[in-house]
Amino acid sequence: MSAPAITEHRHGRMVWFAAEHLERRGISHGFTTRSGGASRGDFSSLNFSSREGDVPARVIENWGRLETAAALPASGWALLSQVHGARVERVAAGGPSCHHRRNHAEADALATSAKGVVLGVLTADCLPVVLAVPGAGAVAVAHAGWRGTLEGVAQETVRELCAIAGAEPHEILAAIGPSIGRCCYQVGREVHEAFHERWGAAQTRRILEKSDPWRLDLQTANLIQLREAGVRSSNVAIVQLCTFCRKDLFFSYRRDGRRSGRMISFVTAAEKG
């Protein structure tokens, strides 16, 4: 069975991607691109972080543009201080987009069943994953770099979401967002050895291509982990685009360095039906 389709949304010059099967169930979510914002220069143009040197007023404008385009509540956001691990934080309430604040939960995934809360993770090569149990109005979002993938952040997020929703993994719908692809993600031998030790030879062969150096496939690694956690393959959509390759669409830390902007992946709980 083929994977669920990905749709492209436009609002003026702003572009973001979403998964059809989640939208059909009333789950508002998206994976932004760098198009349609107010930022300039290295951060052109839809950058959601001021920590790398962008003008804060322009970043605030970018948040406002997204909230308007996607009909998101400006005071409903819950964000992360991402630490490249597998900790999942439960969220009960949101607040301002507060991109510049440093008191977010130190974790790499968020989960909630609270209505009106918008969960978000910032990325610029790492892999974002959105998950939902539509019938329970429960959603989650995860940030998976190679360390988080190694630690199994996707599986931990599935467990937490099921606990919140009182659901089984096969009820979860998921979407994997754009990230740096196997084509461009070069890693050292120590990464290969760490995956081999943690996940075994079979999975490691599927996600790491032997070259000089090794190349890691974050999307396949997290898809495998979702499957192993009990999420059906037919319930997982994938935005099959490489952030490093597509400079026209995405920021990339590995390509552009410290002055790279950040995209945001977001999801909000639907009304319980």
Question: Which DSSP symbol is given to 2?
Answer: P
Query: In this structure, is residue 20 part of a structural domain?
Result: yes
Query: In this structure, is residue 212 part of a structural domain?
Result: yes
Average pLDDT score over the chain: 94
* pLDDT value of position 273: 39
In this predicted model, what pLDDT tens digit does every residue of 133-150 receive, in sequence order?
Answer: 999 999 999 999 999 999
Q: Indicate the pLDDT class of residue 212, thresholds 50, 70 and 90.
A: confident
Query: In this structure, is residue 273 part of a structural domain?
Result: no
Number of domain units in the chain: 1
Calculate mean pLDDT across residues 250-271.
Answer: 92
Q: Indicate the pLDDT class of residue 96, thresholds 50, 70 and 90.
A: confident
Query: In this structure, is residue 108 part of a structural domain?
Result: yes
Query: In this structure, is residue 147 part of a structural domain?
Result: yes
- CB count in 10 Å sphere of residue 31: 25
CB distance 80 to 265 below 8 Å: no
- Cα gap 243→62, rounded to integer Å: 20
Question: Which DSSP symbol is given to 3?
Answer: P
CATH code of 211's domain = 3.60.140.10
| 263-268 and 118-123 beta bridge pairing | antiparallel
Residue ranges making up the domain that contains 93? 6-268
Query: In this structure, is residue 259 part of a structural domain?
Result: yes
In this predicted model, what pLDDT tens digit does every residue of 102-116 receive, in sequence order?
Answer: 557 789 999 999 999
Query: In this structure, is residue 109 part of a structural domain?
Result: yes
* pLDDT value of position 272: 42
The answer, yes or no, to whether residue 192 has pLDDT greater than 80, is yes
Which stretches of 47-188 are DSSP H helices? 56-69, 146-151, 153-165
Query: In this structure, is residue 1 part of a structural domain?
Result: no
The tally of CA atoms less than 13 A away on the side-chain side of residue 266 is 28
